[in-house]
């Protein structure tokens, strides 16, 4: 390495603390980075990727996997920005870029490149959660069972969990033989088998298949595995503590040849065991990779000293963790405020009122977040924010979940994949074409020729439109395809002169065409694939992309990876937070996970935390008295101040009889 190159690297590393620098400079062999909340892990991984490239590694040989689209986009943008700055570096090719994505997007990429190997076309459809739920619900009904009694959501959750543990329908059926074959297991097995048949029939995969089938493909084909091992010689996995079995095993396969695996995680932020995340994956990393180097990142760049002191005091009570103590050079900051409401209405109005005060003092509304443990808590909070005229946004209202947007996407998917009966069923009467249920049944049964002549004309016109869309999708820019669908399907004509709600739906469709422009630069066919993939894999956090000037209302789980200046942690009552599910007994692992969840909530805040609870709360129509959460008592008294400046009582209206 020349003296100039050495100086460049020293300048480049100047902004890193000792732990970050140690992680960046360790380029060969396994690396485990324990990164505390706000410790600059994205910066560390980004710098490490850049250092690899500066050291002569081809960008195309680098893989980085995160858990959310938002995190993947942030890392991708940072890497590409750094690459642009370093474009003048001699001896390095920037034509190829590192592959930065989520696990699911990685699965889509590998499966599309090898679609024939799994009996699909490149344009297979991806069932989103609502597609899967609707299909399972139909299967339960077709079995003559009541979906209210045999909840499709619960059945789907079990199927999802089992797929995460590397099982398919046949594996599950085999595992429940003998004593394990309960009535419930038998039902799930039958539903799952039929569900798999429908997916295969429609040349479709669901979310979990994107992971499971990728693993099975790599596991069963030495040639395909070696291809990707030789492409991705340097692998980075973010949030490693949240990996489930199928993700863990896939990473193990990909890293097997070169062993250049860098994983970043924080045991104290492991909050997804209920969906299969296994904390043992990160705890056993040094057993899996005996040559692993371990780096601890404890310096926090986000929060005040008081917030970190509270977080440290909370999490140290857990025993299943690696010892670390977050510290910061930031200011001491304000104490945590504690407010006890008479009931949930008073608690909600306190929060809305305090948020309004903050906004009045110049705080940006989007820098305020209200976190809650359970989704039902949002309703009363929304009421209070509406009453106080405080702008708010509930995280989870996804653009791609709107009916009209899903309709347009279904036109594209059905055009590219004529076997996608789920999409065809969805849009065959969008706009209304007078095609009834009996006609749809005959179409799906292959009896199109038996239809009355007038109906047959309508049906043929619909399928001709799908054929045009399919051809156009492979020859035209994505934005033009969306515009074509809106106009030629008749949707625009139907909605243009309708109600205000109709016009809003049309605007949402046009917004989809605008969004599609960002894929117009890609090769024809590839751009529309990326748009469909984005729609299928969108998450709750993606609804924040527009960054509305509004207070954010979201669950603590959904807040992972986000940060705000001011954070309200609400409903701090025993059995609510920490949460106690109905008819279940908590074990030590559950208690520790709830404590980790509170730790995550605290460490979302940069400047100030507000803790609130209600002495009484009405749940499922029953009013109950509450004990304040144990978490409040676990925060040292000198870090908390009682807020008694707000008084609110519901008005009682007396009616004269």
Active-site residue numbers?
41-42, 238-239, 269, 604
CA–CA dist 125, 22 (Å, integer): 44
Using alpha carbons, list the distances in angstroms from residue 585 to 235, 250, 356, 553, 581. 40, 33, 40, 29, 8
Let me know: does 125 contact 423? Beta carbons within 8 Å.
yes
CA–CA dist 302, 327 (Å, integer): 10
Let me know: does 421 contact 202? Beta carbons within 8 Å.
yes
Of 614, 627, 623, the C-alpha closest to 571 is: 614
Task: Using DSSP, state whether 232 is helix, strand or coil.
Answer: coil
Cβ neighbours of residue 169 closer than 8 Å, sequence gap 6 or more: 189, 192, 193, 195, 196
CA–CA dist 367, 390 (Å, integer): 13
Of 418, 411, 401, the C-alpha closest to 481 is: 411
Q: At what angle do helices 500-516 and 403-416 cross, to 10 degrees?
A: 50
C-alpha dihedral over 105, 111, 115, 118, to 10 degrees? -130
Of 321, 354, 208, 320, the C-alpha closest to 275 is: 208
Let me know: does 283 contact 310? Beta carbons within 8 Å.
no
Of 338, 107, 327, the C-alpha closest to 228 is: 107
Let me know: does 12 contact 51? Beta carbons within 8 Å.
yes
Residue 622, burial from CB neighbour count under 10 angstroms (0-12, 13-18, 19+):
exposed
∠ CA(215), CA(217), CA(220), 5° rounding? 105
Using alpha carbons, list the distances in angstroms from residue 250 to 60, 210, 282, 546, 587. 19, 12, 15, 33, 30
- Note the Cα 274 to chain centre separation in Å: 15
Handedness of CA 483, 485, 491, 493 (dihedral sign): positive
Of 67, 4, 60, the C-alpha closest to 41 is: 67
Let me know: does 388 contact 354? Beta carbons within 8 Å.
no
CA–CA dist 154, 191 (Å, integer): 12
Provide the 10 A C-beta neighbour count for residue 260: 21
Enumerate the β-bridge partners of residue 623: 618
Let me know: does 370 contact 531? Beta carbons within 8 Å.
no
∠ CA(476), CA(415), CA(451), 5° rounding? 140
C-alpha dihedral over 439, 440, 442, 447, to 10 degrees? 100
Enumerate the β-bridge partners of residue 102: 66
Strands 605-619 and 622-625: antiparallel
């Amino acid at each position: 390495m020349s003296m100039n190159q050495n100086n460049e690297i020293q300048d480049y590393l100047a902004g890193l603390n000792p732990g970050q620098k140690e992680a960046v400079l360790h380029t060969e062999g396994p690396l485990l980075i324990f990164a505390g909340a706000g410790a600059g892990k994205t910066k560390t991984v980004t710098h490490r990727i850049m250092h690899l490239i500066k050291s002569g590694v081809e960008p195309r040989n680098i893989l980085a996997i995160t858990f959310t689209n938002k995190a993947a986009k942030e890392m991708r943008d940072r890497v590409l920005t750094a690459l642009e700055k370093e474009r003048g570096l001699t001896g390095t090719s920037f034509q190829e870029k590192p592959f930065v994505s989520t696990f699911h997007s990685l699965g889509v990429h590998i499966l599309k490149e090898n679609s024939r190997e799994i009996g699909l076309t490149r344009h297979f459809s991806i069932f989103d959660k609502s597609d899967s739920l609707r299909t399972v619900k139909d299967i339960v009904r077709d079995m003559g069972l009541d979906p209210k009694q045999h909840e499709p959501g619960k059945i789907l959750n079990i199927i999802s969990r089992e797929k995460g543990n590397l099982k398919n329908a046949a594996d599950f059926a085999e595992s429940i033989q003998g004593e394990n074959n309960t009535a419930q297991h038998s039902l799930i097995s039958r539903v799952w088998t039929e569900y798999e048949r429908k997916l295969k029939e429609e040349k479709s995969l669901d979310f979990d298949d994107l992971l499971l089938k990728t693993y099975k493909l790599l596991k069963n084909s030495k040639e395909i595995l070696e291809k990707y091992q030789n492409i991705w010689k340097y692998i980075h996995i973010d949030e490693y503590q949240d990996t489930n079995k199928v993700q863990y095993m896939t990473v193990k396969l990909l890293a097997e040849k070169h062993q250049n695996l860098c994983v970043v995680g924080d045991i104290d932020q492991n909050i997804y065991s209920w969906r299969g995340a296994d904390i043992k994956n990160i705890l056993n990393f040094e057993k899996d990779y005996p040559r692993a180097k371990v780096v601890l990142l404890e310096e926090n760049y986000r929060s005040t000293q008081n917030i970190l002191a509270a977080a440290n005091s909370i999490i140290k009570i857990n025993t299943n963790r690696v010892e670390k103590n977050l510290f910061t050079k930031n200011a001491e900051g304000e104490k945590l405020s504690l407010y006890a409401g008479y009931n949930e209405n008073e608690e909600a109005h306190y929060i809305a009122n305090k948020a309004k005060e903050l906004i009045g003092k110049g705080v940006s509304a989007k820098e305020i977040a209200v976190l809650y443990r359970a989704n039902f808590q949002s309703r009363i909070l929304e009421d209070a924010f509406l009453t106080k005229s405080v702008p708010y946004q509930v995280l989870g209202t996804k653009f791609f979940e709107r009916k009209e947007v899903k309709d347009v996407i279904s036109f594209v998917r059905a055009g590219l994949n004529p076997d996608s009966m789920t999409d065809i069923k969805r849009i065959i009467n969008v706009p209304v074409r007078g095609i009834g249920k009996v006609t749809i049944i005959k179409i799906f049964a292959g009896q199109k020729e038996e239809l009355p002549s007038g109906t047959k004309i309508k049906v043929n016109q619909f399928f001709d439109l799908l054929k045009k869309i399919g051809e156009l999708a492979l020859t035209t820019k994505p934005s033009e395809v969306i515009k074509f669908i809106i106009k030629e399907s008749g949707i625009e004509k139907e909605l243009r002169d309708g109600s205000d709600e109709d016009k809003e739906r049309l605007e949402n469709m046009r917004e989809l065409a605008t969004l599609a422009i960002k894929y117009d630069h890609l090769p024809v066919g590839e751009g529309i694939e990326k748009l469909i993939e984005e729609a299928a894999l969108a998450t709750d956090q993606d609804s924040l992309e527009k960054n509305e000037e509004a207070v954010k209302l979201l669950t603590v789980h959904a807040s992972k990876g986000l940060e705000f200046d001011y954070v309200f942690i609400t409903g701090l009552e025993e059995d609510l937070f920490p949460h106690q599910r109905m008819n279940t007994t908590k074990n030590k692992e559950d208690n520790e996970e709830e404590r980790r969840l509170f730790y995550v909530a605290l460490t979302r805040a940069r400047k100030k935390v507000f803790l609130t609870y209600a002495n009484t709360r009405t749940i499922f129509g029953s009013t109950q008295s509450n004990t304040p959460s144990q978490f409040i008592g676990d925060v040292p008294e000198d870090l908390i101040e009682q807020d008694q400046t707000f008084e609110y009582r519901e008005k009682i209206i007396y009616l004269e009889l």
